Structure 1
């Protein structure tokens, strides 16, 4: 096998000698090391690389995951993980970049387009296109088979600063599924609601008629998580007024980029829903609760949850109660509207992995990460390793094992799968890996319940120039923060009609029109590139 030899500086060599007594068989991350250009292991002498990664709430340190233990055994590359809880990751990542206190790489990096261009230009993260070409045969193969993925990860300046993540499952058209307690419906002799008015009456019954039978008024008719990506009322309420919302508050209508949160339908939806809050039909913690609090509400000793928004019924209420709930179809609003928003973006994402200027072994790092773009490895990264989530059948396909009793697939996956890196193409399902039962069900639900009412347009994954990103990043954070605060305030306390004109003026002052113009230009360029 071919090898390349890096030169150790005197300083690094001295440091290595000092540490040698306790770590003689492992090179530290600030040494340039020999590596194998092909085959495994990647290095003959174990090397350590420092990586920062966000982690799910139930995830252990990544070194405790079977997936990474096996990867280390095969590659001889040890990762010094700094796992940061997902809800605090972006802030800590930004502090590291601002203070120039960098690891060798960010894994599951979550770098925005602005991050990529800013820190690519400054040199904090390095271009990857040559490393991909020379040291990433698995990823290269994927980019050849799906050139559109290469387009997504190529920056306007022509460089590739980050690696992609993609699973062609078509399950992300909308994340907002509403589940309702059908056992309570039957007990109270109620039908599945089809309109907002009917749903309102159901919520009143849930509140007042003691459907759990414990003699207490402890039922929660409706709970959600305000502006959370799988738990908001963006479709449930706003869609019933013909203006489905999303976390961007941005969509496309008849080819024009618009802000959902400045439309009259948005105002009417807020005014309508506030009435439900005043009646006590809505869990007031919906505006403040975190994931743990939210998921716990479906697992109380007495059943207390009447309906909720989450893209998997079972994950909220647990496997023992899942059969007591069913998905509620999109509801018709007072004006006859019944629309489901189509999620912005693409199945292909950039920003998943970056290598920093501190990395002395980018070739080793690229070879290590490329192992995870091999389809079998990518499947295990997304959903879990062989022996815990999967076993191989007689055709070599990864098929699902039974998960431990008393847990849900979503919870179990957090513990065993990083779910950060890889590409699974549509043709890999049924050949390399069996589609997860939850995903099969979600596709079925999308097709039967949501797609017939889904908006045709969305804002795609576009690339903005550095100058455009500078402007958007000056305007959009303040704009979104203001919108989200007013949305929550009006939903809880009312006042949207009285404050609406002042609110629209404030949006313009922050820079709404300038931002929309940039997004429109980006959309037009995207359309032109697809011809």
Structure 2
């Protein structure tokens, strides 16, 4: 693979005519062409009036981006004003689609959130390829892509172009979404050691209920989790104890083969096993009807019903006052002697953080502006918050965390001061450029202590699908996964998997499972052909 991205389409710098002359609204106003400096700061001379229009979603806690300290500083350094069109997150997709349909385009979409259909927008001329601009005007990002060919594979569309810029956070956390947690105070109360196997966990939950350890007067002590928020609190994490991990999208990789877990015997055995837990009332009967907020509320109620749970962290579930009552468990051994820790298919390398449109009269200047965000020190501040709010610089110039305002959690404060978006923080930046926040350090330590020995090695990468592949997957997978998830919940709650299994597998095959897996495997192979060994 070449170390530099080939400049495949010089004409992309002049695609401003492709978006036509008519729009159905005037929500977005584009800057006229200006001269700019190809190196150094500021990007334009004092007195040059340039205001680029960026559309971006934002959280309900965040102010408009023009009020954020980090962007005010960047405007002072670059002499470039950004006219922020911030849209509340729950309405962003609809507004973005209306802009694209009506040709009322901003200069760029920040935190763009485009699906892989962005190739279609590139072909239709609404957005422009960026690889030439990266090579010529983005030295920070180019050096990162040279160092991370796998990130280049994530960004490169099947047609060979790059249509969006990345967001990367290499902390080593997101593949491992769930920890197993048990109430140690209750174990002490019933006189049991920490469980080492699933059967021992079952016995502990039985003891909690039989001895009414929370004093509620009823057998309400349970293992609880979220039904499936796509990331945290997934019961299928326990399925690894039957010889094959599971995850919400039912895709795992073993020896470079993409496997659909929901037709495997290990999956069937796990559901048969855990149905008995549901039948006994050991697992919260509301796991398939409660949302994440309702689940989290249970850990703070009185009396507390949570004997054990699966989630990202203890404090989020039970609060600081009860956190010391709980302890982590490593991977539990299954009935057949398997012990492993699966990984999610969530990624640390993301595309679609920034997309530039054909309405932009200043694509080179815009690329120079956004490349400032790929300086490692600025990337950390874009991702977590600026100096003065989240960080201060130590004697070596490294960003270190400052104390948060009293009564504020890191998650909440981060939403107020950090815009997220285009940024790259690599593994080697932690401890040199930026100090990792205390919660993340502790989580890495916990992964090393409890899970590292048993981690499943492979996962499904952030592949870039072709339009044809997306069309077929959207046509087949929606109904297919609906069937899988409905049966998953029903079999766990009510049983019946053994009698219905063969008909279920045949139905999935009739619905097109073989074609789906062929597409998934080809996309996987294509991704790895782009990445050197």
Normalised to the residue count of structure 1, the TM-score between the two structures is 0.85
Residue in 1 aligned with 2:388? 387
| 1:382–1:417 Cα contact (<8 Å) kept | yes
5+ residue gaps in structure 2? 1-13, 18-25
Is 1:178 paired with 2:180? yes
Q: In the TM superposition, what is the alpha-carbon distance from 1:453 to its structure 2 partner?
A: 1.4
Does structure 2 retain, via aligned residues, the 8 Å contact 1:165–1:420? yes
1:133 aligns with 2:130: no
Question: Relative to 1, partners in 2 of residues 1:301 and 1:111: Cα closer, same or farther, differing over 3 Å?
Answer: same
How many Å apart are 1:98 and its aligned residue? 5.5
Q: CA deviation at 1:213?
A: 3.8
Q: Is 1:222 aligned with 2:224?
A: yes
Q: Contact 1:226–1:288 (CA<8 Å) still a contact in 2?
A: no
Q: Could you tell me whether the CA contact under 8 Å between 2:222 and 2:305 is conserved in 1?
A: yes
User: So what's the TM-score if we normalise by structure 2?
Assistant: 0.85
Cα distance, 1:72 vs structure 2: 4.0
C-alpha distance after superposition, 1:71-91 (max 9, x if no partner): 3444442342333336x7556
**In structure 2, C-alpha distance between the alignment counterparts of 1:71 and 1:257, rounded to whole Å:** 44
Return closer, same or farther for 1:244/1:291 CA change in 2, 3 Å cut-off.
same
SS at match of 1:284: coil
3-state SS of 2:237 partner: coil
Alpha-carbon deviations, 1:336-373, whole Å to 9, x = none? 22222133365322222212334444344323322211
8 Å CA contact retained: 1:52, 1:103: no
With over 3 angstroms needed to count, the CA separation of the structure-2 counterparts of 1:425 and 1:496, relative to structure 1, is same
- Give the SS at the match of 1:192: coil
Aligned residue in 2 for 1:84:
88
Q: For 2:224, what is the secondary structure of its paired residue?
A: coil
- What is the alpha-carbon distance in structure 1 between the residues aligned to residue 512 and residue 102 of structure 2? 29
Q: Residues 80-479 of structure 1: matches in 2 within 5 Å?
A: 80-85=84-89, 93=96, 97=100, 102-113=105-116, 115-213=117-215, 219-236=221-238, 238-300=239-301, 302-344=303-345, 346-479=347-480
Which secondary structure state, in structure 2, belongs to the residue aligned with residue 83 of structure 1? strand
3-state SS of paired residue (1:515): helix
Could you tell me which runs of 5 or more consecutive residues in structure 1 were left unpaired when the two chains were aligned. Answer: 1-5, 10-18, 20-26
Partner SS, residue 29 of structure 2 = coil
Between 145-154 and 439-448, the greater mean CA deviation after superposition: 145-154
For the residues of structure 2 that align with 1:279 and 1:128, how far apart are their CA atoms?
57
Assess if the C-alpha contact under 8 Å between 1:63 and 1:81 holds in 2: no
Q: 1:278 Cα shift?
A: 2.8
Structure 1 residue 144: deviation in Å?
Answer: 2.8
The worse-fitting range, judged by mean Cα deviation, of 269-278 and 427-436 is 269-278
Q: Distance in 2 between matches of 1:434 and 1:426?
A: 11
8 A contact 1:28–1:47 mirrored in 2: no
Shift of 1:513: 0.5
2:10 matched to which residue of 1?
none
Distance in 2 (alpha carbons) for counterparts of 1:54 and 1:503: 42
Name whichever of 320-329 and 61-70 sits farther off: 61-70
Aligned mates of 2:212, 2:76 — CA distance in 1: 57
TM-aligned CA distance change 1:89 to 1:305, over 3 Å: farther
Length, aligned pairs only: 505
Inter-partner Cα distance in structure 2 for 1:180 and 1:356:
51
Deviation of 1:476 (Å): 2.7
Deviation, structure 1 residue 267: 1.7
Q: Secondary structure at the match of 1:505?
A: helix
1:211 & 1:41 partners in 2: Cα distance?
65
Match of 2:21 in 1: none
Q: Is the 8 A contact 2:225 2:235 kept in 1?
A: no
Judge which range, 341-350 or 150-159, deviates more: 341-350
What is the match of residue 36 of structure 2?
36
**Structure 2 CA distance for aligned equivalents of residues 290 and 59 of structure 1:** 24
Query: Alignment RMSD, CA only?
Result: 3.0
Secondary structure at the aligned position of 1:481 is classed as: helix
